[in-house]
Structure formats: structure tokens, C-alpha cells
Structure 1
Amino acid sequence: MKHAFNYILSFIIISVLITSCDAVKRVPESDYLLTKNSVHVNGKKDNTETINNLLYQKPNSKILNYPLRLNIYNLARPNIDSIVNANLDKKPHKRAHLESFLSKKQLDKYIDSRISFNDWLKKTGEAPVILNEDRTKKSIKRLNDYYINNGWFDVESNYEIHKKNNQRAEVDYFVKTGNPFIIDSISKKHEPSVVDSIYRLVQRNSFIKQNEQYKTVNLQLERDRITSELRNKGVYHFSQDYIAFEVDTVGTNKKVNIEVQIQDRAIRNQDSVRREPFKIYNIKDVNIYTDGTYERRSETRTDSINYNGYTIYSIGKMRFNPKALTDAIFITPKNIFKDIDRTRSYRYLSELRTFKYPDIKYVENDDETLTTNIFLTPLKKFGLNFSTEVSQSNIQTIGLAVNPSILIRNIFRGAETLELSGIGSIGASKDASNKSSNQFFDINEIGVNLNLTIPRLFSPFNTDYIVPKYMSPSTRISLSATSQTNIGLDKQTFSGTFNYKWSPSRYITNRLDIFNAQYVRNLNVGNYFGVYQNSFKTLNAISTSLNYNNGENLNFPDQTDAFISDVLNNNTTLNPNDADYKTVSNINERKQRLTENNLIFSSSFGLVEDTRKNIYDENFSIFRVKLELAGNILSSASNLLGLNKDSSNRYELFNVAFSQYAKTELDFIKHWNLGKKNVFAVRSYAGIAIPYGNSTSIPFSKSFFAGGANDNRAWTAYSLGPGSSESSNEFNEANFKLAFSAEERFNLFGNLNGAIFVDAGNIWNVLDEVNNQKAIFSGFDSLKDIAVGSGFGLRYDFSFFVFRFDIGFKTYDPSYQDKNRWFNDYNFGNAVYNIGINYPF
């Protein structure tokens, strides 16, 4: 209580100090603090970010309409070094007494700390924005330029400054646009030339269109388009500088007539310039230098190969498969020059992870052809990596892990990459079933993972017509095995994957898993109630109430299994209609599902559309869709293979019932850049996995959970749902999920950002063996069980990653059944504190 009072008192004191600051205390007496800008366009206020960004001067930034950074800046003292030293010299002998008491070195450190803190206040804060009328006039010019460039050629703008007695000022900008100018005609003089022929062929795709409003940006886009079209159709020497537009608005009654002007090629001699029509260039030769480092360019190439018109040179014996190299190069001998071929070659060669960024040069020949020289700098064949990790979780008090890996490039001479990695870890736990153990590190895990990446579709068939090489196709083959001891039920996992990946466009990536095989074996099933102790406590409480074990606690697994068997076989006083009977049945159902071994053979297709232009783009969307099917081939061939059935009438392979299900996921993320480092982001997600045929439930590894730092942040991971059930299970999962989130991110100061968010969603069971009606999605009426969490957080941007801290409050909790579900636990005591890396979506 004492600590809480101190925190509250400190908060009140800091709040009073900040709010008592005079915003104009650092504003000279003859100047005014700019507090507000208003832009009125044709009599209506325009608050859009686009217009406000045109103004040269903007008021100090505010958080919830409060100029926090300005007031932090005002807390700093000007000339702090002089003030500190003046205070020390104010009284005779004060400095000498302090030096004798603290020492001169400590006193100097004190002075430096005062100065450093004052500098931090200035750096963190924001200096007051002083009204400057010259900048206001520049803003008027910028507003006029903006509207003229968007077709309002008759725009008129002015401003009014309102100075107040409290040294504050506001500026009103008034803009009258008039009617916009409309494009009436687009013309180009007909000239019998290569350029003119190509232009007329691609003119229909023009960014300049009749009857549309004039915009200067469209002229630049059209200039870029024409240049790209010509350079991708063999016009090697062409550039944007040869394109001009003549815009005529004289006497046209607000119409715009545009003439496209394309000049001939300028050839410069020593003292003159002559013009000639552009010509189409062809690629004559393509030379590939596999040891193309700058230091070795003068060395003699001792090995060369001619392959499909390409000449490949090497210093020493050739180390690369010619087909692998030529497949990565889009510049083709005897074809016309295309600028996009060089761009695609750069990208594909870089994606091989075998070479450094390549160098591609064109050499002009006398016969109007080009020789292409491609210089490749191979990376080292072997790459070694070694990392360590220290961790802590609800399973282990401390964990130590090592992760060695080796990368082998060009392993089969076809630019393939093989990565072999391993994991070895030990940890200390407080396992309920292992209390007698005197071994401190009682947890261990060991695993190995092999990944082979092939820079093409590995197939016995020619797939170039289906997936051309410009789509950057690749094949990934992976095998992995892990073994865990004293972690939960102790597991051995074996998996293998064979998949294809390709990008049909800049923004879309496809992935096809031809097969994905996974086998999970539980080694310590008897420890189930040691891991899921809440289930054990519930079961034990029912046993005690029945005096089943003479009132003593059950031990596991023998007595717990016997008790479950007796209840379900009606060997106790419970009957199927009793609530406790149903609880025991649910516990047994969950136990059977989570302890059974899993064998999964699946295939899937996934598509990702990501419209981000670069890592700094904050106006983008991401759409993901995935469809996965498991067990169908095995089910169809079960009779042919002579597979046996288990006691539940399920076919088994290797003595394990294989899983059969259909799973689909949809995920959509959208970001809007609101300006001033302010971003609004939303996410919507839906996933469902339906068991059928050989399965009545979904494997734990393929099920859905809710809660956590990247989901509904008001609940911890696995603690939410299913539905409105009041589950106390350690890991709640189900086979249907809905999730929605909205978050506004804003800058506080420097690299520190804040956020407020609302998360909604839940998980349910549907079309599986679960019988708990509160956990089952039965239709639109079940949507009332969508949980809502809200909260706020801080993010610190370290450039290469973002450290995130969020506090989530349970706003609408469906576990309250028929009671009021709103704001029951909306307090810091029941809040969930999340720490994460990077943004949740």
C-alpha cells in the first residue's frame, strides 16, 4: 500500500510540474507561438494530411491535444552550465566546501550530469514554433503550386494572421480554386521512325487521357512509361530527357491540349551535336565471368564453356553448372535489348544466395549490337554460424541452448544451397511428476534440421511454360527431427517437406507444398496430469467428493486412469446426466486427444499479396490465404495398402491413426499512413479446420488458439475460449477461429512510439467430437461470445527491430455466461502485460 501511495504521489507531482509549464515561457516577448493552422478551400475547412503537409510552419505536436514535447523542452534551462556554476559561486567558499566533501572529480561529474539531463530535455522535447510570416507566404506559394499541378490553373490564395494577447497566434489560409481544366486533346506529330511506330503501338496504355482533369504527375508517369516501353523494345540509347510535353490552355475555355514531343538521339562530338533517329539494338554475345571480382578481372580465364549461346569463363576449373547460371540470366543472345531483362537478372542472381550483387555491363559494337558482360563474385562455399540462447518460461526456470549451423553453397554445382542446423538445450524445471529428482538440469532437447534450396522447380517435367523463370521459382526440401525429454509429455518429432515457391508479380508470392509429412510421438503419456495440473485438480476434487480413494488424493497415472474408467463405465454413483460425469468425460476426451501420437500427410497451397513498396511504406495491405488437405491419399489407398483399423475404427499406418482434415485460413492486414508518424492498422483473420474420414478431431499442432502478444492481448496465450466455456485448461485450443484487431500508432518523441488498440475474437469447436455446448459454434448466435480486449502500449524503434510493450484489459469477457460481460475485470490488477518484438500485424 505504501509503494502504491508513493507511485500515485510521484505521478501527481510530475503531472503538476508538466501541466503548470507556461507554453510561451521560451518565446521572446516580441514573438508569437503558432498554435493553429486552418486551411479553407472554397469556403470549406480542409483538414486532410495532404493539404496540411504543404504548409511550411506547423504548430508543436500534441498528444491528446496536449503539447507534451513543448512542455518538456520548456523544463530545460537555457545556459544551464552558467546557472550551475553561478549557484556554486553564489556563496563564498561553497565550491571549495563541496570539493572537500565530494572531491573535485565528483563535483565535476555532478555538474556534467546536470548539463546532460538538461540537454536530454531539449533533445526529447520540441522547441516552440515561432510564427514567421515569410514562411506563411511560402506556404501560400506551395498551396498555389499544388492546385495548379492538379488542374486548377486559376487558383487564388491568401492568408490572415490572428495574434492574441497571450503571445499565441493562429493562421487562416483561404484558397479559391475555380473550375478545373480538362484534357481535350492529346497529339503527337507523325514521323516515320522506330520510336514513332512503337509509341503508337503502346499509346492506348497512356496515363494521359481525354476528358480527365489535368494533373502534372500524370505527365511524369507517362514520361516514365514511354521510356520503359521503348527501352524494353530495343531502343538502347533512349532516356526520359528526350520526352517533352507542350501544354496549351490559351483560349481553350478551360480545356487543355497536350502535344507529346519525342526528340531524335543526340550524338555529341567534341564541338558539335548531331541528331539521328533511334535504332533497335540486339544482344550479340553474353559473357559470364564466374570469378568477376575487381581484383581478378585482369587474370587469364583458363576454362570456358559455350552453352546455348552463352560463353561462361572461369579462372581454374568451372565450378558451376552452366544451365543453373543461364537459367538465372534473362538477357538472351540474338534477341533484342530489353532493359527489364537486366533488372530481372539482378534480382534472380541475388536470390541464388551464391553470389554477391552482380555487375552487368553492356558494350556497344559497331554493327548496332550489344555485348553483355556479367561479372559474378561467388560467396564463400561454406558459411558457419553459432548462436546461444538463455530463456525462461512457465515450463522451465532456466534454459540454455546452442544453435550451430553450416551453409553449403553450390553444393551440386547448380547454385543449390544446403543448410544443416542443429539445436541442443538443457534446462531446469519443477515438474510435478519429478519432484524426487535431484538433477538440476532435468530438461533436454536435441534436434537437427536439413534444408536444401534449389533455384528452380525440381521436377521431371518442363515447367517453364507454366512457371516462367521471371517468377523466381524455387524448390525447398527439408527434413528435421527433434527429441524432447521432461518437457511436457516428452516428444519425438520427425517431419519432411517438399514445396515450390514462385512470384507471378512483384506483390504476389505463391507456395505449393506437394507434401508435408509429420510424425509426433509422445514418450511420457503417464505424465499428462503432471503437465495439465488444472485438469488434475478438477478430477481430483470430484474423486474426493465421491470419497473414491478414501478421501485421499489420486496419484497418476494409475489411479487417475482407473477413476476415469470407473466413472465412464458407471462404476461410481455418478450417472451420465450429472455435471461431474460430463466434466470427467470432457477431461478424458481431451486427454485422449492430446496424448495420442499424430501422423500427418498433407498438401497445401498458399498465396500472399503484399503491396508494400519498401520497408518504410506505411500505406499498404497484406492478404494471405491458405488451403491445406491432409490424409486423402492415404484414405483412398487404405484398402489397397491393406491398412488395419484401431479400436476406434480408424485406419493405421505404422501403428498410428493418420489424420484426415481440411483446413483453410484467411488473413487481411491494412495500414493507413495518417502522417506525422501516425499509422492506423487493422487486421481480420478467419480459420477453420474440419476433421472427416479417418479423424474426428484436429491434431493439437494444427488447431487454433487465442490470446497472446500477437492476438487478443487482454488474454494470455491459450487462455481464451473456446466459446463461452469457463475453461481452466493450461492450453485451450479449437478448430475454428475469428480474430479482429485495430490499432493506432503515434509518435511520442524520438524513437519512442505509443499505440492504442482494440482486439476481438475467440475460438470454437465445430464439426468435431467436442460435446460442450458452450465451446461449440452453432451459428450467428455464437458471435455474442466474441471476446473484446482493449489497451495501450509503447514501442521503441531500434531500426533493425521494434521492442513492444502492451497492456491489455478484458473489455468484454464471454466466460461470464449470462451475467453482464462488459468491464468486469477492466483494471490493472486483471490486465495482461505483453512484451513482443516488432508489431503484432
Structure 2
Amino acid sequence: MKSRFPIHFKPVIALSSIAIISSCSNTKFLKEGQMLYTGAEVKIENDSIPKKQRKALKAELEENLTPKPNSSFLGLRPKLYAYNIAKEPKKEKGFNYWLKYKFGEKPVLLGDVDKEFNKDILVNYSENKGYFNAQAKYDTVSKNKKAQVIYTVKPGNQYLISQVKFQEDSTLVNQEIQNLKDKSLLKVGNPFDLGVIKAERERIDNGLKEKGFYYFHPDNIIVQADSTVAKNHKVELNVKLKEQTPDLATQQFSIDKVVVFPNYNIRDVKDGKYTVPMNEDSLSKYAYEDIYVIDPDHKFKPRIFDRALYFKKGDVYNRKDHNLTLSRLISLGVFKFVKNEFVVSDSLNHKFDAYYLLTPRQIQSLRLETLGRTNSANYGGGEVNLNWTHRNFFRGAEQFKAAVYGAFDVQLGGPKDANNIIRVGANTQLSIPRIVAPFRFNSSSAFVPRTNINLGYEYQSRTELYTLHNFNASFGYVWKENVRKEHDLKVIDITMVAPQTITDKYRQQIEGDPENGIPANPTLQRVVDKQLIFGPTYTYTYTNTTSPKTNTIYYRGMLDLAGNITGLVTGANAKKGDQKNIFGVPFSQYAKMEHDFRFYHKFNEKTNFASRIIAGIAYPYGNSEFVPYSRQFFVGGSNSIRAFRARTLGPGSYDPRVQNASFYFDQSGDIKLEMNAEYRANIYKFLNVAAFVDAGNIWMVNEELNTDGQPVRPGGKFSKDFLSEVAVGGGVGLRLDFSILVLRLDLAMPLKVPYYEKGDRWVLDRVKFGDSAWRKDNLILNIAIGYPF
């Protein structure tokens, strides 16, 4: 009989059944004489060890025991039960195979436990932590075909370091080791710990690598422990070079020749050697400054390597410069593989040649992208992008990108008339791998600083309303101090917006209809006004979210200053009617800043907490009464306050439902406050769930008045009651994380609506999940790519 359930529902049905039935004992599936291993416990017998220290040692010892028992949840073992009930599959595919070998777990039996091996592990670990002469024994406790192993450890007292000596001799390498001893990890009074000793050897090795000892290795260091010369559980440590240390490891090397192969290909290597001869005569024609660039076809300008390489002829080798050079070569963006080799050229004088073998990426690429999208404002559409990239435009690793695109958005539903959006445009960017400026900019970062020049144009048509031309250009710099800190300074950022057509329908909404009681709406006029915006912008980003820490943060701060010097020089004052123009267009004058701070807390490998707060303000002055529409703030939508549709919330307590317009127009503001909190959990491989709360709103700095002197958007101005106007929404989400793509579905509903009457804005008491009309008006489904923050 054919199954009534679709194939993709079978795992859900099976897992639900397992969760219910798995309370039944798994032991009934065991064969005669088998016992299910339920885990181990370590007991510490030493009352002289402080309770906190004893508890920590117990946890560390138990972590080292193998094997681990079958996983459990609330005392049940559903994965083991799935393995037991699933039939042996005939093929390595299908639902039965997935249930038994992908979801299920093979039973861990007492016979799988090597108790003697674990006992030795416990003794060795205890002694490595300074509990010398430790002893251990074990016992097995069994009942109803289940068994647990109890290990009893007698660790004795922990030995403490009484003295640390760095043995001296006359060699150069020893002199450098002596210079490193002041920052030793081995401290008098600390417990003996083999892990710290290993870290100390690596610290010494790292220090020597910075001083030219390229062939040194941590294993060349030995730390001798003597517990017989001191009493009361003390130990002396003696740090010294091993007698068997190779002579090569004790020699300090410097750089002889630096040779770059920017067109390296493994096919050009024969018998382990590059086909180009390495003698001085053959290399001389490739010389540039103190390096040799083997580039017969002149595909690259040699100076880009002179800037990227930190090694010069005669320099003492150090690993910091070694790693910086490799990182900078990679960050040029033109090489697919970067390989480095050091070959001894003069063993008597301890010199080696540095070879950089660089495999270029495809210099030019053409990519066509198509995508479809929907948003919470009832719009759906698509976009086509054609991108051309040249990664070595002027033979100096300059990246030139050019793109043309077309996009459309169609209103899929809602109470308003359809007003489709069409966008067509092109943009170009030239990215130069250095700072092009009249001043000298030195960077010791692993990342190459860049000068970016951008030009762009976009034609936008909102059918039945207006069409706009948008031109933009910018010149600026991007540089990173390190992997955490990035700076983006646009010395000049210019935007020019010019309307082409404005329909009568749109003008009627701007001018209003006094006879029918419809007031004018100057806010709509500012959307289609001619705009000239120019000035510097600066963005600073700090993040340590890539580090394996429990708590990580992300911060992005932005400052945008438009028309400030020009407004000051011309004495512009729009409020007094003295507005200045450039080429017949009023220029914008304002100051804007925005701060985006995020905090992430990792509970364990499968659960974490993410939060974000955004605060921003844009203040118009001088030549502007209002901030340009394109530079204002917006809230709502899939990456903002998800319980409200995109750009429909605010400003303040303004009620968008009172709009007389026959179309939706975006709500904008000069002040923004937004807060988000989200609990995320992984429930199975790529399947993640989340619960979230969003809050925030936007406000105006200056009140907007119509021709009658009445507020265009009542309640939109920022006031002392702004906290009561903060919208709140919450919901749950489902995320499908396929590594290269995260598909996100968030279902949200409003909890507090700022445009309701004050004192009646919380709506928790009006939730009606069973009412279809309530669900239609209040449940917002956001479909998006990637996490919201």
C-alpha cells in the first residue's frame, strides 16, 4: 500500500514517535551477556585538596575517559532507540539507512570500555597536573543490564614550583633564550603543569623565530623537573637546550636573495627546481630594487611586490615579517595560491634565499546573477546583474569592477493600488592596492590598504508616480589595522538626484485637496526634489566574532558630514530663506552619525544568544531644513523590527493608517533607536530555530508642517515621551543553514504598537491566534537570506 505521508514528513513522524516510545528500555535489544554502558564517575580521595580544586580535577579527569556513553535527553536515549528499532538497510541510502546510521547511535557496551587504559589515563593526567605518585583503581556497578564504572583516584598533594632556572652557555641561541626568560610562563609558587611547560617551549620557539632561528623547534627545548632537592611537595625546573639539538637549529639566518615568481605553475617545475636558472647573471635582468621578479611577460609591475614584501636583502629572518608578507600577498586579491620557500644559499654565513611562488587567479571574469525576492511590504520581484571584473587592470593588482543591472518589484497584495518599481543602473569601481595621496601612509598591517574610486548611475521608475535619475561618485580609502579593526574613509562622497517625470497623481498627494479635506503632504515632495549631497563619510568597524570566545562583540560606527564647509563659507541659512545653490540645485547640509553594537554569547556548541542595539541621529542645519530623504533612517522588515512591514513604522506615534494617499510611501526619520535580542539553537545539523524580540522606532528632529501650519505626520517629532513610542514585536524563526546559504523564515507579531492611544499600546491581551482576520493583520512572515544580525 502506498504511504499516505509525503517522503519529507517521514523523518518528522519517526522522530516524534521515537521521542514518545524511547522511554521503553533499550536493554531489551541486548544479547545475552551484554551490558549497556551508562558512563563513568571519578571519585577523588584526598581531603587536603580544597573542595573547588577537587571539583575541577574531577571534571577534567572525567572528560578524558573513553568511550562516551550514548547521548541522552531527559534521561531517555532516543538516538540509541532509533538504532535498535531500525532494520538493517539493504542500501546505503533511503530513510531506513538515515534512521539507523545518520540519526541513530550504535549502543556503547561495557565490553567497549578499556578500564585499565582509562586508569592509566587518570594517573598520567594527575601527574601531568603536578599530583605526583598518583594512584587509581576502578570498580563496576551493574543493574538491569546497565553498567557504570567507578574510578577512585588518590592524587596526593599537588607539587608547586620552587625555582626556575634557565641553564646558560656561550652559544648565540642560548643568549637569545636568556633574553626571553623574563616573560616565562613558569612562575615560582604555581603548580607543576605539563600543559604550561609545553606552552613555555612554544613561547621560546616563537621568540627565537623572531630572531632569525628559522630551523628551531619547540622539541629542542627540554624542561627538567627535580622533586628530590626540595621538601614539602616542591619541584625545581631547569630549562635547557637538548644535547641532540641539530646545529642548523642553533644558527641565526639572514636573507640573501628575495625571488618572486608571480606566474608560478607547478608544470614549470622539473626535478624539484624552477626552470629559470638561479645564478646572479640570469637573475640580473629581473632585478628591481633589492628583489628579483621573474616575470618575462611583464604581467605585473615589480613595485607591487616591493611594497608587499617585508623581507629585504640582509634582513635577519623573523616569523612576524614572514607571515605579514604572505598575508599581504594574499590580500592583493590577484593570486589564487601563495607559497613560500627558504633555501640555504650560504651555510657558512648562515644565509638563505626567500622564494615566493605565486599562482595568479583568473585575471578577468564575467558573472551573470539572477535572483528573486519578496518582502514584508507585499512586494515581490527579481533582479539581473551582469558583473565584469579585471584583477590586474593597470598591471599593479588594481581591481576594476563594472556592473549593469535591472530590477523590478511588483506589489503582490494589500489595500493600496499597485505601484510597481523598476530600477536600471550601472556602477564601476577601481580599487588600487595602496593609498594614493599627497602624504605618505605607512601600514604594518597584514592587509593591504586600498584606494577606491566609485562611479554609478541608476534610473528608478515608480509607475504612476515618478521617475528619478540618481548619480553617485566617491573617492576614499579602506585600511585594516588588523583582523578586528577596519577603517573606511570616503574623502568625498557625491550624490545627485534629479527627477525626470512627476505624475499628476503624485502631485495631487503632495498638494492635497482642500475641498475634500485632504491636506498637503510636503514630505512626498522631498522624495522627488533635486538633491545634491557631497561631503566626507567615515566608518569604523571592530569585530572579534571570528574568535572562539564565549562572548564576542561587533561594533560599527559611521559619521556623515555633508556640505559643512560650503555652507559655512557661503553663510547659507535655509530657515531664514537664504538657501544657496550649486548649478541651480540646493546642496544638503547636515551631520549624521550611527552606531551599531552587537553582543554574542555562546552557551555551548548548539545554543547561543545574539543581541543588537542601533542608535543614530541626522541633524539638518545651515542650507537644509530637513535631512535628504535618501539619507534618513527607516525601520521595519526582515532585518529590523520584524513584526512591522518594511519602512511602514514611525515616525514616533504617527499612524500610517490615516494616510489619504492611494499608495504606500516609506516612513522615514532623523533619529533611530532599535534593539534586538535573539536566542538561537541548533536542533539537527542544518536545522536551526530561534525566538526573538525586536523594539525600536524612528523620529523627526524638526516638525513637518503643511500649508495650513498643521503637522504632516502628527506625533512624528522626537519628544521626552519617546520611550512610550517604542514599538515592540516578537516571534519565532526557522533557519536552514547550508553553510554557503542560510534561508531564514521568521514569523513575528506586534506586542506594542506606538500609533495606538497612549496607555493602550500593549496588545498582548488582544492576541487571537484562532481568528483568521487577526492572523492576517498581525502575523508577519519574513523570508530572507542570512541572519538578521
In the alignment, is residue 736 of structure 1 matched against residue 671 of structure 2?
yes
> By how many angstroms is 1:457 displaced?
0.7
Give the aligned partner of residue 28 of structure 1. Answer: 29
Counterpart residue type for residue 474 of structure 1: R
Distance 1:161 1:526, change over 3 A: farther
Gaps of 5+ in 2: 1-10, 45-50, 269-273, 658-663, 705-710, 770-774
Conservation of the 8 A alpha-carbon contact between 1:31 and 1:130: no
* 1:746-761 pair list within 5 angstroms: 746-755=681-690, 757-761=691-695
State the alpha-carbon separation in 2 of the partners of residues 390 and 653 from structure 1.
Answer: 40
Write the deviation string for residues 419-464 of structure 1: whole angstroms up to 9, x where unpaired: 1111134676689999999xxxx86432111111111111122222
Give the aligned partner of residue 531 of structure 1. Answer: none
State the alpha-carbon separation in 2 of the partners of residues 789 and 156 from structure 1.
Answer: 59
Give the aligned partner of residue 285 of structure 1. Answer: 257
State the alpha-carbon separation in 1 of the partners of residues 74 and 718 from structure 2.
Answer: 40
Q: Which of 437, 450, 457 in structure 2 is aligned with 1:474?
A: 450
> By how many angstroms is 1:736 displaced?
2.7
State the alpha-carbon separation in 1 of the partners of residues 447 and 568 from structure 2.
Answer: 34
Give the aligned partner of residue 96 of structure 2. Answer: 118
Give the aligned partner of residue 782 of structure 2. Answer: 834
Give the aligned partner of residue 671 of structure 1. Answer: 600
Give the aligned partner of residue 77 of structure 1. Answer: 86
Counterpart residue type for residue 741 of structure 1: N
Conservation of the 8 A alpha-carbon contact between 1:737 and 1:761: no
Give the aligned partner of residue 703 of structure 2. Answer: 769
- SS of the residue corresponding to residue 218 of structure 1 reads helix
Give the aligned partner of residue 633 of structure 1. Answer: 565
Conservation of the 8 A alpha-carbon contact between 1:125 and 1:749: no
Q: Which of 521, 528, 535 in structure 2 is aligned with 1:602?
A: 535
Q: State which drifts further: 154-163 or 226-235.
A: 154-163
Counterpart residue type for residue 434 of structure 2: R
Counterpart residue type for residue 343 of structure 1: N
Counterpart residue type for residue 657 of structure 1: P
> By how many angstroms is 1:53 displaced?
5.1
State the alpha-carbon separation in 2 of the partners of residues 811 and 177 from structure 1.
Answer: 58
CA RMSD in angstroms, aligned pairs only: 4.3
State the alpha-carbon separation in 2 of the partners of residues 348 and 674 from structure 1.
Answer: 35
> By how many angstroms is 1:180 displaced?
5.4
Give the aligned partner of residue 488 of structure 2. Answer: 511
In the alignment, is residue 591 of structure 1 matched against residue 531 of structure 2?
no
> By how many angstroms is 1:151 displaced?
5.4
Write the deviation string for residues 477-500 of structure 1: whole angstroms up to 9, x where unpaired: 111111122366433211112221
Write the deviation string for residues 203-237 of structure 1: whole angstroms up to 9, x where unpaired: 33333334445544333332222212211211232
- SS of the residue corresponding to residue 358 of structure 1 reads strand
Distance 1:704 1:136, change over 3 A: farther
State the alpha-carbon separation in 1 of the partners of residues 129 and 351 from structure 2.
Answer: 43
Counterpart residue type for residue 621 of structure 1: I
- SS of the residue corresponding to residue 693 of structure 1 reads coil
Counterpart residue type for residue 453 of structure 1: S
Distance 1:625 1:372, change over 3 A: same
> By how many angstroms is 1:80 displaced?
6.7
Conservation of the 8 A alpha-carbon contact between 1:264 and 1:276: no
> By how many angstroms is 1:36 displaced?
8.1
In the alignment, is residue 412 of structure 1 matched against residue 394 of structure 2?
yes
Write the deviation string for residues 23-64 of structure 1: whole angstroms up to 9, x where unpaired: 425753566666788888849988999887555455655678
Give the aligned partner of residue 204 of structure 1. Answer: 182
Conservation of the 8 A alpha-carbon contact between 1:809 and 1:826: no
Conservation of the 8 A alpha-carbon contact between 2:26 and 2:81: no
Distance 1:591 1:458, change over 3 A: same
- SS of the residue corresponding to residue 317 of structure 2 reads coil
> By how many angstroms is 1:384 displaced?
1.9
State the alpha-carbon separation in 1 of the partners of residues 146 and 749 from structure 2.
Answer: 40
Give the aligned partner of residue 239 of structure 2. Answer: 260
Conservation of the 8 A alpha-carbon contact between 2:22 and 2:77: no
* 1:311-350 pair list within 5 angstroms: 311-316=292-297, 318-350=298-330
Q: Which of 682, 690, 705 in structure 1 is aligned with 2:611?
A: 682
> By how many angstroms is 1:293 displaced?
2.0
Give the aligned partner of residue 621 of structure 1. Answer: 553
Counterpart residue type for residue 768 of structure 1: N
Conservation of the 8 A alpha-carbon contact between 1:36 and 1:171: yes
Q: Which of 797, 801, 805 in structure 1 is aligned with 2:745?
A: 805
- SS of the residue corresponding to residue 672 of structure 2 reads strand
Aligned residues: 736
- SS of the residue corresponding to residue 402 of structure 2 reads strand
Give the aligned partner of residue 7 of structure 2. Answer: none
In the alignment, is residue 789 of structure 1 matched against residue 769 of structure 2?
no
Distance 1:813 1:294, change over 3 A: same
State the alpha-carbon separation in 1 of the partners of residues 414 and 749 from structure 2.
Answer: 32
Distance 1:797 1:129, change over 3 A: farther
Q: Which of 218, 221, 230 in structure 1 is aligned with 2:196?
A: 218
Conservation of the 8 A alpha-carbon contact between 2:376 and 2:645: no
State the alpha-carbon separation in 2 of the partners of residues 699 and 119 from structure 1.
Answer: 61
Distance 1:636 1:286, change over 3 A: same
Q: Which of 817, 821, 840 in structure 1 is aligned with 2:762?
A: 821
Q: State which drifts further: 767-776 or 503-512.
A: 767-776
Q: State which drifts further: 414-423 or 643-652.
A: 643-652
State the alpha-carbon separation in 2 of the partners of residues 589 and 608 from structure 1.
Answer: 37
Give the aligned partner of residue 692 of structure 1. Answer: 621
- SS of the residue corresponding to residue 335 of structure 1 reads coil
Distance 1:276 1:455, change over 3 A: closer
Give the aligned partner of residue 3 of structure 1. Answer: none
> By how many angstroms is 1:308 displaced?
2.0
State the alpha-carbon separation in 2 of the partners of residues 304 and 13 from structure 1.
Answer: 72
Write the deviation string for residues 701-734 of structure 1: whole angstroms up to 9, x where unpaired: 3333333322333333224443444334653332
> By how many angstroms is 1:362 displaced?
1.6
Conservation of the 8 A alpha-carbon contact between 1:185 and 1:210: yes
Structure 1 length as normaliser, TM-score?
A: 0.76
- SS of the residue corresponding to residue 638 of structure 2 reads coil
State the alpha-carbon separation in 1 of the partners of residues 157 and 536 from structure 2.
Answer: 59
Distance 1:224 1:715, change over 3 A: farther
* 1:156-195 pair list within 5 angstroms: 181-195=159-173
In the alignment, is residue 353 of structure 1 matched against residue 286 of structure 2?
no
Distance 1:560 1:427, change over 3 A: closer
Counterpart residue type for residue 331 of structure 1: F
Counting aligned pairs with the same residue, the percent is 27
Distance 1:563 1:792, change over 3 A: closer
Gaps of 5+ in 1: 1-9, 82-111, 268-274, 528-555, 575-580
Counterpart residue type for residue 19 of structure 1: I
Q: State which drifts further: 253-262 or 330-339.
A: 253-262
Distance 1:398 1:764, change over 3 A: closer
Distance 1:309 1:424, change over 3 A: same
State the alpha-carbon separation in 1 of the partners of residues 687 and 370 from structure 2.
Answer: 29
> By how many angstroms is 1:795 displaced?
2.4
Give the aligned partner of residue 5 of structure 2. Answer: none
Give the aligned partner of residue 461 of structure 2. Answer: 485
- SS of the residue corresponding to residue 521 of structure 1 reads strand
Q: Which of 343, 346, 350 in structure 2 is aligned with 1:363?
A: 343
Conservation of the 8 A alpha-carbon contact between 1:696 and 1:769: no
State the alpha-carbon separation in 1 of the partners of residues 728 and 378 from structure 2.
Answer: 31
Write the deviation string for residues 122-152 of structure 1: whole angstroms up to 9, x where unpaired: 2453337546376495677666666655556
Counterpart residue type for residue 298 of structure 1: T
Write the deviation string for residues 648-677 of structure 1: whole angstroms up to 9, x where unpaired: 543332333322232223333333443343
Structure 2 length as normaliser, TM-score?
A: 0.80
Conservation of the 8 A alpha-carbon contact between 2:728 and 2:753: yes
Distance 1:490 1:280, change over 3 A: same
